[in-house]
Protein backbone atom coordinates (compact mmCIF):
# COMPACT_ATOMS: atom_id res chain seq x y z
CA UNK A 1 0.00 0.00 0.00
CA UNK A 2 1.21 3.48 -0.84
CA UNK A 3 2.23 5.49 2.24
CA UNK A 4 0.31 8.79 2.17
CA UNK A 5 2.32 10.24 5.02
CA UNK A 6 5.86 10.44 3.74
CA UNK A 7 6.10 14.19 3.08
CA UNK A 8 5.70 17.48 4.87
CA UNK A 9 2.53 18.30 2.92
CA UNK A 10 0.57 15.86 5.05
CA UNK A 11 -2.50 18.05 5.45
CA UNK A 12 -2.88 18.53 1.71
CA UNK A 13 -2.63 14.80 1.08
CA UNK A 14 -5.19 14.00 3.75
CA UNK A 15 -7.52 16.66 2.36
CA UNK A 16 -7.11 15.23 -1.14
CA UNK A 17 -8.06 11.73 0.01
CA UNK A 18 -10.97 12.76 2.27
CA UNK A 19 -13.62 12.36 -0.45
CA UNK A 20 -12.44 8.79 -1.11
CA UNK A 21 -12.88 7.74 2.51
CA UNK A 22 -16.66 7.89 2.49
CA UNK A 23 -18.48 8.97 5.60
CA UNK A 24 -15.74 7.82 7.99
CA UNK A 25 -13.79 10.45 9.90
CA UNK A 26 -10.19 10.26 8.73
CA UNK A 27 -8.93 11.67 12.04
CA UNK A 28 -10.37 8.67 13.91
CA UNK A 29 -8.41 6.18 11.80
CA UNK A 30 -5.68 4.46 13.83
CA UNK A 31 -3.09 4.76 11.05
CA UNK A 32 -3.67 8.52 10.88
CA UNK A 33 -3.33 8.91 14.66
CA UNK A 34 -0.17 6.79 14.66
CA UNK A 35 1.35 8.88 11.86
CA UNK A 36 0.49 12.14 13.59
CA UNK A 37 2.19 10.85 16.74
CA UNK A 38 5.45 10.72 14.77
CA UNK A 39 5.25 14.41 13.86
CA UNK A 40 7.62 16.23 16.20
CA UNK A 41 8.77 19.49 14.64
CA UNK A 42 7.39 22.97 15.10
CA UNK A 43 6.61 24.87 11.94
CA UNK A 44 8.42 28.17 11.43
CA UNK A 45 5.52 30.39 12.63
CA UNK A 46 5.18 28.22 15.75
CA UNK A 47 8.92 28.55 16.40
CA UNK A 48 8.64 32.34 16.17
CA UNK A 49 5.68 32.44 18.58
CA UNK A 50 7.50 30.19 21.04
CA UNK A 51 10.62 32.35 20.91
CA UNK A 52 8.67 35.59 21.35
CA UNK A 53 6.61 34.33 24.28
CA UNK A 54 8.95 32.03 26.14
CA UNK A 55 9.66 34.53 28.93
CA UNK A 56 5.95 35.27 29.50
CA UNK A 57 4.72 31.69 28.98
CA UNK A 58 4.71 30.74 32.70
CA UNK A 59 1.91 33.28 33.20
CA UNK A 60 -0.07 32.25 30.10
CA UNK A 61 -3.10 30.05 29.53
CA UNK A 62 -3.06 28.31 26.16
CA UNK A 63 -5.86 26.79 24.12
CA UNK A 64 -4.45 24.50 21.44
CA UNK A 65 -7.41 24.03 19.12
CA UNK A 66 -6.89 21.10 16.76
CA UNK A 67 -4.22 19.61 19.03
CA UNK A 68 -4.15 16.38 17.00
CA UNK A 69 -1.72 13.91 18.54
CA UNK A 70 0.19 16.63 20.38
CA UNK A 71 2.89 17.80 17.96
CA UNK A 72 2.97 21.29 19.51
CA UNK A 73 2.14 20.08 23.03
CA UNK A 74 5.69 18.83 23.56
CA UNK A 75 7.01 22.37 23.17
CA UNK A 76 4.28 24.56 24.66
CA UNK A 77 2.84 22.52 27.56
CA UNK A 78 5.94 22.59 29.80
CA UNK A 79 6.13 26.38 29.54
CA UNK A 80 2.49 27.38 30.10
CA UNK A 81 0.60 28.11 33.30
CA UNK A 82 -2.40 26.19 31.88
CA UNK A 83 -2.63 24.16 28.70
CA UNK A 84 -5.85 22.87 27.12
CA UNK A 85 -5.73 20.77 23.97
CA UNK A 86 -9.01 20.37 22.09
CA UNK A 87 -9.63 18.22 19.04
CA UNK A 88 -12.73 16.91 17.28
CA UNK A 89 -11.18 13.43 17.09
CA UNK A 90 -11.70 11.22 20.13
CA UNK A 91 -8.78 9.01 19.07
CA UNK A 92 -6.42 12.02 18.78
CA UNK A 93 -7.46 13.24 22.25
CA UNK A 94 -7.05 9.75 23.73
CA UNK A 95 -3.57 9.60 22.20
CA UNK A 96 -2.66 12.93 23.86
CA UNK A 97 -4.06 11.83 27.21
CA UNK A 98 -1.96 8.66 27.13
CA UNK A 99 1.14 10.49 25.94
CA UNK A 100 1.03 13.57 28.20
CA UNK A 101 -1.35 12.63 31.01
CA UNK A 102 -3.99 14.82 32.60
CA UNK A 103 -3.22 17.23 35.41
CA UNK A 104 -4.83 20.30 36.91
CA UNK A 105 -2.71 22.44 34.57
CA UNK A 106 -2.99 20.27 31.47
CA UNK A 107 -6.18 18.92 29.96
CA UNK A 108 -7.16 17.34 26.65
CA UNK A 109 -10.77 17.14 25.53
CA UNK A 110 -12.93 16.35 22.56
CA UNK A 111 -14.59 19.48 21.27
CA UNK A 112 -15.84 21.35 18.25
CA UNK A 113 -14.30 24.71 17.35
CA UNK A 114 -17.78 25.97 16.54
CA UNK A 115 -19.00 25.31 20.09
CA UNK A 116 -16.50 25.78 22.87
CA UNK A 117 -18.86 25.26 25.81
CA UNK A 118 -16.56 22.46 27.00
CA UNK A 119 -13.87 24.91 28.12
CA UNK A 120 -13.32 25.69 31.75
CA UNK A 121 -11.01 28.63 31.02
CA UNK A 122 -12.59 32.02 31.48
CA UNK A 123 -9.71 33.82 29.84
CA UNK A 124 -7.03 32.91 27.35
CA UNK A 125 -3.78 34.61 26.65
CA UNK A 126 -2.55 32.40 23.82
CA UNK A 127 -4.67 30.67 21.21
CA UNK A 128 -3.30 28.22 18.67
CA UNK A 129 -5.22 26.77 15.73
CA UNK A 130 -3.64 23.82 13.99
CA UNK A 131 -2.39 24.55 10.50
CA UNK A 132 -4.06 21.33 9.35
CA UNK A 133 -7.44 22.74 10.33
CA UNK A 134 -6.73 25.93 8.41
CA UNK A 135 -5.54 24.02 5.36
CA UNK A 136 -8.54 21.69 5.33
CA UNK A 137 -10.95 24.56 5.91
CA UNK A 138 -9.42 26.51 3.04
CA UNK A 139 -9.51 23.49 0.74
CA UNK A 140 -13.15 22.71 1.57
CA UNK A 141 -14.14 26.33 0.93
CA UNK A 142 -12.27 26.36 -2.38
CA UNK A 143 -13.91 23.11 -3.49
CA UNK A 144 -17.39 24.62 -3.02
CA UNK A 145 -16.71 27.37 -5.55
- 26-30, 40-44, 96-100, 117-121: the lowest-pLDDT one: 117-121
Any domain includes 89: yes
Model confidence at 140, pLDDT cuts 50, 70, 90, reads very low
d(Cα 68, Cα 81) in Å, to the nearest integer?
A: 21
- DSSP symbol at 103: B
Query: Which CATH number covers residue 59?
Result: 3.40.50.150
Any domain includes 25: yes
Distance of CA 52 to CAs 93, 103, 142, Å? 28, 26, 33
**Domain of residue 34, residue span:** 10-143
pLDDT tens by residue, 79-101: 999 999 999 899 999 999 999 99
Full strand arrangement of the beta sheet holding 126-129 = 106-110, 82-87, 61-65, 126-129
Q: How many domains does the chain have?
A: 1
pLDDT tens by residue, 43-62: 888 888 889 888 999 998 88
Residue 37 pLDDT exceeds 60:
yes
d(Cα 85, Cα 99) in Å, to the nearest integer?
A: 13
Say how many Å lie between the first and final Cα of the chain, rounded. Answer: 33
Any domain includes 47: yes
Q: What is the predicted pLDDT for the residue at 124?
A: 60
| pTM flag (> 0.75) | no
Any domain includes 138: yes
Any domain includes 98: yes
Amino acid sequence: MYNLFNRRDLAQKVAYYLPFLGSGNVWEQNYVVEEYKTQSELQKPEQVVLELLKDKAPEMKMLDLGVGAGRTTTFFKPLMKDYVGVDSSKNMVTSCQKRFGKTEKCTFMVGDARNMDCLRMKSLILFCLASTALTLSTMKTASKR
